[in-house]
Chain A
Amino acid sequence: MVLSWLPIREDWDSRLLAAKSLATESLGAALRDLATSRMEVSQLSKLDRAFTRAVSASGSELAGLGSIRLAILGSATTSHLPAGIRVAGLRHGLAIEVYEAPYGMYWQELMDTSSGLYSFQPDVILLALDARHLAAAQDATSEAAIDLMRSCWRQARSSFSCQILQQTLLPVFPRLMGNNESRMTHSSATIVDQINQSLRTESETEGVDLLALDTFSAVEGIAAWHEPGIWHRSKHEVHPRATQLYGDQVARLIASARGRSAKCLVLDLDNTLWGGVIGDDGLEGIVLGQGNGIGEAFVDFQRYAKGLTDRGVILAVCSKNDEKNALDPFERHPEMVLKRDHIACFVANWNDKASNLRSIAKTLNIGIDSLVFADDNPVERALIRQELPLVRVPEMPEDPAAYISTISVAGYFEGLRVTDEDKVRSQLYQQNAERTRLMESATDMEGYLHSLRMEMSALSFDNIGLARITQLINKTNQFNLMTERLSEAEVAKRMQDPNFITLQVRLTDRFGDNGIIAILIAAIRGAEADIETWLMSCRVLGRRVEEACLNVMAERCREAGVQRLIGRFRPTEKNGMVRDLYSRLGFTLLAEDPDKNSSWLLDLSAFEPTSVPMKTNTLSGVTV
């Protein structure tokens, strides 16, 4: 089973051999590169071993990889899943340590607090329950299966603050009636369909993320994923040859919950968004729509890209063209689905694409590892893979009719929830680009900030904002003081606890509503409050929002009788920009350890709110 979006590296085996003698800092990157390639079963096995050895030798995290503890609780054989998951984790920038519960013991491990699962203390639990276990028995019902799964989820939730992944059921049963199987109520095949349908609503209610095995296995079909022979021999429901793809799906879900999904699709133009070369063929010569088979494929691809913006993915253009020519189709071609204002950052010049991608990431204020680069030209793809290994570069097929499926099955933008802000994100980035242009012509900073007519509201957390707040806590990497990730349940706890001060900060200005742009959580301990969480969107840097937030936090602290406000900083690879935030805000340094973790103090009895260029509304929200 081929992971078609990954490139083939002809020298894979010799590169693995060479990697083994690298020092730790380069080893992680080299192994990650190898994981981002097509692999045969034996190569997967070799890489998994090399990776596992590297992880245990390096003691703590292998440079740049986040560590995750994943427990697989299965009802049948799970032995070949861990390797696929670990290597996929590596591909997604994670070092996943896997615990496998003993065969069939998912229930016992969850219910017995002295089990291996409890010693392991997972960050993620994967419930891999096979279809026969839940639907084969004579008296099986979908209600009973859902009840069973719900008990597992609730037990997992109350014992661990972990992400729960529930595998949907693989349709392994033969249809006894045929096309209209649903008319036979006690058919196992029908029960599986019913369970899978119920799981869509139940999982959302219970805060569980689905591993949609039923859906993603349908791409190549049940015969590719399941063979009765190996089920009978060794109780493998998922065939070992499919574990690379299974593993990638698991890794995507874990990465998504931790803010590591890609955020921006960067599109080439010629032969990517239309057939032909605009600079040579002109508006009449490019192939787009108009009843032509190839033209229609490009229109469909544009439609797909636009669809991504509806759920919060940003689009950018990176093309080797004169800007005027590149813009022409967007402005004048009747078949263009994508318009100029769907593109948050439009780069058309003759510079190398690696420099352009760096510049796009900088303009949009997102990490270079948030970009996906779609280009029909293998030479450009190879350049980016070499210069910017963290950019995700799908191997584009020769037939444009296959572009959509290649990018969609790659799952770069895996998402768990859509918020209202996601729907307008592309617009927000557009507006922000306008703000940047305005700023460039106004050298008087204070005058400029006032001209933005900013209004900030800082309220306590509420149920309406909960999903978006949780999303921000888990995806913000740069302006993030402690980078503490919290599950929605943990955020809700803080929302309801009177010993916590919570602030969700919204900002509007003359270009529009930026939505929630800062989150602060402080724990009150007597006369002291400790800021455990402070993060801010990079969209509003340089506007003195930090000072405005501090003003509000100080006021809330005083209302609660707090006299000393403590701030903490934990350095990561991405949050260098806030290293001296507390110093700039007038806190004094309390302590700093050799790893540069620091704590700071603000004496509130001496603190005066700073004058800031915005209106602030702090009407207390209702915490229901």
Chain B
Amino acid sequence: MQQQEIYTRLTKIIRDVFDDESLVATPEMTAADVAEWDSVNHITLVVAIEEEFGIKFKTAELEKMKNVGQMVEGIERKLSA
């Protein structure tokens, strides 16, 4: 899957989970940038991503994800595995 498609699908998930139609997934985006991005919604986001792409993250992988760009890389790695 192309990175662009991942960003597109991720943007929809982010809008749905954080209730903000103006959000766009960008590589530098972090929880600090989004009002609704608390620890509970973060878990919902991860579960939604796993469901959308049919993948499962390990704890070690999740702990390394500090921004959306790293999340996308994580998704890419899983999809090509």
Residues of A within 8 A of B (CB): 40-43, 45-46, 49, 79-80, 229-230, 232-234, 236, 239-241
> Is the Cβ of B58 less than 8 Å from the Cβ of A80?
no
Cα–Cα, bound, A42→B50 (Å): 11
> Is the Cβ of B43 less than 8 Å from the Cβ of A43?
no
Which A residues lie within 8 Å of B13 (CB)?
A: 42
Hey, what's the 0/1 contact readout for B43-67 against A, CB within 8 Å counting as 1? 1100110111000001100100000
With contacts A46-B16, A49-B19, A232-B59 taken as known, whether A40 is within 8 angstroms of B48 at the C-beta atoms is yes
Cα–Cα, bound, A232→B12 (Å): 29
Cα–Cα, bound, A41→B42 (Å): 12
B40 interface contact, C-beta 8 A: yes
Chain B nearest CB from A75 CB (Å) reads 18
With contacts A40-B51, A41-B48, A46-B19 taken as known, whether A240 is within 8 angstroms of B43 at the C-beta atoms is yes
Cα–Cα, bound, A232→B58 (Å): 11
Cα–Cα, bound, A241→B39 (Å): 16
Which A residues lie within 8 Å of B44 (CB)?
A: 41-42, 45, 80, 240
B23 interface contact, C-beta 8 A: no
Chain B residue nearest to A42 (CB atoms) is B16
> Is the Cβ of B40 less than 8 Å from the Cβ of A80?
yes
> Is the Cβ of B51 less than 8 Å from the Cβ of A241?
yes
Chain B residue nearest to A46 (CB atoms) is B16
Chain A nearest CB from B36 CB (Å) reads 10
> Is the Cβ of A233 less than 8 Å from the Cβ of B48?
no
Q: Which of A40, A49, A80, A232 contacts B43 (CB 8 A)?
A: A80
Which A residues lie within 8 Å of B51 (CB)?
A: 40-41, 241
Cα–Cα, bound, A445→B30 (Å): 77
A-B contact pairs, 5 of them (CB 8 A): A41-B51, A233-B59, A234-B39, A239-B47, A240-B44
Chain B nearest CB from A147 CB (Å) reads 33
Cα–Cα, bound, A264→B19 (Å): 40
B71 interface contact, C-beta 8 A: no
Chain A residue nearest to B51 (CB atoms) is A41
Chain A residue nearest to B60 (CB atoms) is A229
Chain B residue nearest to A40 (CB atoms) is B51
Which B residues lie within 8 Å of A80 (CB)?
A: 40, 43-44
Cα–Cα, bound, A234→B52 (Å): 21
Which A residues lie within 8 Å of B59 (CB)?
A: 229, 232-233
Which B residues lie within 8 Å of A41 (CB)?
A: 44, 47-48, 51
Cα–Cα, bound, A287→B12 (Å): 48
Chain A nearest CB from B16 CB (Å) reads 4
Cα–Cα, bound, A36→B24 (Å): 30
Closest 4 CB pairs of A and B: A42-B16, A41-B48, A42-B48, A240-B47
Cα–Cα, bound, A229→B47 (Å): 13
With contacts A40-B51, A41-B48, A42-B48 taken as known, whether A236 is within 8 angstroms of B16 at the C-beta atoms is no
Cα–Cα, bound, A49→B58 (Å): 29
> Is the Cβ of B48 less than 8 Å from the Cβ of A236?
no
Which A residues lie within 8 Å of B62 (CB)?
A: 233
B6 interface contact, C-beta 8 A: no
B29 interface contact, C-beta 8 A: no
Q: Which of A79, A232, A233 contacts B40 (CB 8 A)?
A: A79
Can you name 10 extra interface pairs (CB under 8 A) apart from A234-B39, A240-B47? A40-B51, A40-B52, A41-B51, A43-B16, A45-B48, A46-B19, A49-B19, A80-B40, A230-B43, A240-B44
Chain A residue nearest to B44 (CB atoms) is A45
Hey, what's the 0/1 contact readout for B15-34 against A, CB within 8 Å counting as 1? 01101000000000000000
Interface centre among B12, B48, B52, B58 (most CB of A within 10 A): B48
Cα–Cα, bound, A49→B19 (Å): 8
Chain B nearest CB from A46 CB (Å) reads 5
Interface centre among B16, B17, B51 (most CB of A within 10 A): B16
Which B residues lie within 8 Å of A234 (CB)?
A: 39, 43
Chain A nearest CB from B29 CB (Å) reads 17
Which A residues lie within 8 Å of B47 (CB)?
A: 41, 239-241
Cα–Cα, bound, A42→B44 (Å): 8
Cα–Cα, bound, A302→B18 (Å): 47
Chain B residue nearest to A233 (CB atoms) is B59
Cα–Cα, bound, A239→B44 (Å): 10
